[in-house]
Structure 1
Amino acid sequence: MRVAVIDLGTNTFHLLIAETAGKELKILYKTNIPVKLGEGRINDNIIIPAAFERGVKCLQNFSHTIAEYQVEQVRATATSAVRSAENGQDFVNAVKEQAGITIETISGDEEAELIFQGVKLSGAITDLSLIMDIGGGSVEFILCDTEKLIWKKSYNIGAARLMQQFFKSDPINDGDKNAILFHIQNQLADLFDICEKHQPKVLIGSAGAFETFAELTIRKNNLKADINTIKTFEFNFDDYIEIAGKLLNSTHQERATMPGIIPLRVDMIVIAALITNYVLGRAKINRLRLSTFDLKMGVLASLI
């Protein structure tokens, strides 16, 4: 059977088409488009007209691709940008009418569950771990071991939200950094209570920004690894800290010319580094791992 998964993220829309036979699956096609649905007014809970139009057009194109591949089953999930937008349902209705795609707007808890299933599929969970997925609208945390999910929660502190609210300097200055850290410290109090109780040994970054951190590490050390084909990547902790420091001290222009950073993440990677550093420090974790499998693979797992 051929299945398609569409993940409507706040920054990026993803399409994944796979062939399944029993529990085996083969990826036939995948793409991601920087739609930037949360552009401009995500903190006002509005999808602005230009972003609304980009989103519908992208899904019309996805619909053509799905038809070309003769897909039998489609699951499209929308997360924080659509979930929190006052005109989110209008967007869902427009996509149904103009692209023929039915969108399922999932809760933060459902999002965290699917991220866990995706990461689990990658084989990245080998110990008591804290999974972190940095989206544009929300950040999900999942505490788990190799057997089960122990605790999960979604927080509205995504990179696009924090960037629009706090990131006004170039390079980011101490005032902006402290405003972001103060904001997330207040939001994440219960996360650190859970970490204090269970003491996870590893932070697993789910795709997204963590792929950029890995790409920068691979290039820095001339490693023979390809983000597009690997399922997991183990960071040297000192390497990560050095790269995060470089990102936090760089200007927009300097980051824009760094090989390994896609245009969409040139500024958001600063927010991602800041949040990741804070979580590692507060949770007293000094092991970092990437899972290139995320929500999309969790949705795919749910279809097979």
Structure 2
Amino acid sequence: MYPKNIVPESTPKDYYAALDLGSNSFHLLIGQVSNNKITIIERYSTKVRLGASVVNTGSISDEAMQRGLDCLQEFSEHIRQYPHCQIKVCGTQALRKANNAHYFLVEAEKLGMPVEIIDGQTEARWIYKGVSHALPDNDEKRLVIDIGGGSTEFAFGRQNKLHKAVSLTLGCVTLREKHFANGAITDKAWQSTKKAAKALLQEHLEEITGEFDTVYASSGTAKLLKNVCVENGFSKKHIDRNALKSLQKTLMKLSHTDDIDLPGVKENRRDLLLPGLAILLAIMDILAIKRIIFSKTALREGMLLHMHEKTHRHQQASSALASDV
């Protein structure tokens, strides 16, 4: 990362800014792409909880909307350091579902941040692109899973070639609001959470079934579960079912999510740990997954690559047109 007050020399359209407006957090990634390699310049994440009220009311609350707009304003100030920067702002499940999303879009446009609400399959495709780009160029069949605040994406492929992309309306924020809204940890809440996750997965079993040799999981939920398992000695490096069951046993001894005080768990993620755990355990059970490898790259890296590829195609087309004149 460059010092905040020093911007390296650049050429027009040398920088890309990807903004991922999730149901729980907003993320900004600024980077460069050269020789098909991503160089990360800046990363920012802010917990906005845009989708918290959408679960029960169908609408983004006034408070959440203001938090989101404040965050976009802050992100725009970071981006201004890079005068030749292409920007892409993508809204995901909360903005797909909220009946008042258009109000947010109008206000974001006023900030110079036009938002594109992408569908779940596009989200899954770009997640796969971002994850597979950072993996070895081998012949393994890959399954990439991304558990978000409002949805979970599944992407099957080999190397950089995507074979199938699926998005389900199953997320940590959604399950928290339905089963752990008051923070109380009870066996009833846990069982109902896992039952709800399994029911939705079973309903879409044919869609999420495919061939894979290795399973990768990306983004905040996977990172949280991997970190807490490793830092508490439940696993050495990756996520496996025994580690998650050990974590479940530890958490179920507590009375409230506020009591979760484990290495690897940030205070502002405590309330999402059990819903995320329930979703991942349900997925591993239904798809018979033994081990999951955490991927540091995900949607935002996929967005950067998408922008770069689009720019490159445009430049090639312009060059071809000029040579014909």
- Compute the TM-score of the two structures, normalised by the length of structure 1: 0.87
Give yes or no for the alignment of 1:89 onto 2:89.
Answer: no
Give yes or no for the alignment of 1:258 onto 2:270.
Answer: no
Question: Which of 150, 170, 185 lines up with 2:198 in the alignment?
Answer: 185
Give yes or no for the alignment of 1:110 onto 2:115.
Answer: no
| 1:1-304 correspondence to structure 2 within 5 Å | 1-97=14-110, 99-123=111-135, 127-146=140-159, 148-168=161-181, 172-189=185-202, 191-193=204-206, 198-221=210-233, 234-235=238-239, 238-250=242-254, 251-255=256-260, 257-304=261-308
Q: Give the 3 Å change call, closer, same or farther, for CA 122–249 of structure 1 in structure 2.
A: farther
* Secondary structure of the corresponding residue to residue 205 of structure 2: helix
Instruction: Kindly indicate whether the alpha-carbon contact (under 8 Å) linking 1:3 and 1:72 is maintained by their aligned counterparts in 2.
Output: yes
Consecutive unaligned residues in structure 1, runs of 5 or more: 225-232
- Describe the superposition over 1:155-178 as per-residue Cα deviations: whole angstroms up to 9, x where unpaired: 112111111112257553232233
Q: Report deviation, 1:23.
A: 2.3
Q: Give the 3 Å change call, closer, same or farther, for CA 214–37 of structure 1 in structure 2.
A: same
Indicate the residue corresponding to 1:229 in structure 2: none
Consecutive unaligned residues in structure 2, runs of 5 or more: 1-13, 309-325
Q: Report deviation, 1:244.
A: 4.0
Q: Report deviation, 1:220.
A: 2.9
Q: Report deviation, 1:41.
A: 3.6
Instruction: Kindly indicate whether the alpha-carbon contact (under 8 Å) linking 1:199 and 1:283 is maintained by their aligned counterparts in 2.
Output: no
Q: Give the 3 Å change call, closer, same or farther, for CA 300–247 of structure 1 in structure 2.
A: farther
Q: Which structure is larger by alpha-carbon Rg, 1 or 2? A: 2
Q: Report deviation, 1:147.
A: 5.1
Alignment-mate amino acid for residue 281 of structure 1 = D
Q: Distance in 1 between matches of 2:241 and 2:227?
A: 15
Q: Distance in 2 between matches of 1:172 and 1:141?
A: 29
Q: Distance in 1 between matches of 2:107 and 2:87?
A: 17
- Compute the TM-score of the two structures, normalised by the length of structure 2: 0.82
- Describe the superposition over 1:211-270 as per-residue Cα deviations: whole angstroms up to 9, x where unpaired: 11222233234999xxxxxxxx63455334323432354331331x22321233201110
